[in-house]
Chain A
Amino acid sequence: MSKPQRLSKACGQMTVELILLTVVFGGLSLFVSRFFLSQGIVQNLIQAPWNYGIAGMIENGQWGPVVKTHDFHPNLMRRHSSIKGEATR
């Protein structure tokens, strides 16, 4: 028994394959997008190095968060000035 001629044609196969591939790549893109968003990967490229290194170096001259490096700022080093003529401590 021979198949009807209409079903034996392969003309639409590529369209079906393309739809499937689109769904797969779309899903993959969404997965990657959510992964990037949940892990904050773009933030890790900018905000993280800024917060945990650069800002501390700009403000306090030390690599690290601003709050933690504040205590190491050279302005806080012990110094002596004898504005009242006092002896060295």
Chain B
Amino acid sequence: MITAPKRLDFQSRRGSQFRSQDGLMTIDFVFAMTLVLVFTVLLYSFSLTLSVVELVQYITFSTARAAYAAHVDLGSQVQLGTKKYNELVGRRAIAPLFKSWFKLNGGAGLGDWNHIYPQRGDDSRTFWGSRIQFLSPVLKFNIPLLGSSTEDDSPPAAFVSSYLSREPTSEECLLFNAQRAFAIKNLNISYRLMDEKSYFVMADNGC
């Protein structure tokens, strides 16, 4: 009668230990969770960034709108716009966003941006408003062994802007009216006989 060779003691013990598949699911779960977590973080970072871009878009619009209305002088218009910008960025609900995850460069960014959009033969100053550089450090991270998400140290950035132009200031209005007499005189050579002292500055709706 042939009998199976007797298993050595360590073979029977360890064999059963390594044949067990109890931990496979745990290992699969760890790998899958890592992948899912990485892609979830990426997805949420992008979603949040795009949402905050919309938020910044509104901030630029509101800033430009606050600076739009006529005022005593240009400085006062800019001051009003900047005040609005600081008020919006400093709001308790959104201020934490701009402390670490996102950054805004250039303050309210109010000014004349017509040089960015040159118009052939058109000297109107249409593109006056707010232009802010938006940076998204939340998209800048380093995955160990796999590298950085950005090419250099700077996070992804883009300019967000709103150009609403602006109304003339009192100062500009008065200056324009004062210069009107000279403009009238230059229309025709016969007008040059006009006595400048007889010219009375009168704005249609006031300055």
On whether A47 and B156 interact (CB within 8 A), knowing A79-B119, A79-B122, the answer reads: yes
* Chain B interface size, under 10 / 10 to 19 / 20 to 34 / 35 or more: 20 to 34
Contacts of A40 in B (CB 8 A): 147, 151
User: How far is A45 from B151 in the complex, measured between Cα atoms in Å?
Assistant: 12
User: How far is A46 from B161 in the complex, measured between Cα atoms in Å?
Assistant: 23
CB pair A29–B145 under 8 Å, yes or no, is yes
Contacts of A66 in B (CB 8 A): 158
CB pair B147–A37 under 8 Å, yes or no, is yes
CB pair A55–B163 under 8 Å, yes or no, is no
Contacts of B119 in A (CB 8 A): 76, 79
B127 within 8 A of partner (CB): yes
Residues 117-158 of B contacting A (Cβ, < 8 Å)? 117-122, 124, 126-127, 134, 139-140, 143, 145-151, 156-158
Residues 24-67 of A contacting B (Cβ, < 8 Å)? 29, 32-33, 36-37, 40-43, 45-47, 50-51, 54-55, 58-59, 66
**B91-134, CB under 8 A of A: which get 1 and which 0?**
00000000000000000000000001111111010110000001
CB pair A45–B163 under 8 Å, yes or no, is no
A-B contact pairs, 5 of them (CB 8 A): A14-B14, A33-B145, A36-B145, A46-B156, A75-B127
The 6 A-B residue pairs whose C-beta atoms are closest, nearest first, are A46-B149, A33-B145, A75-B117, A50-B156, A58-B158, A55-B158
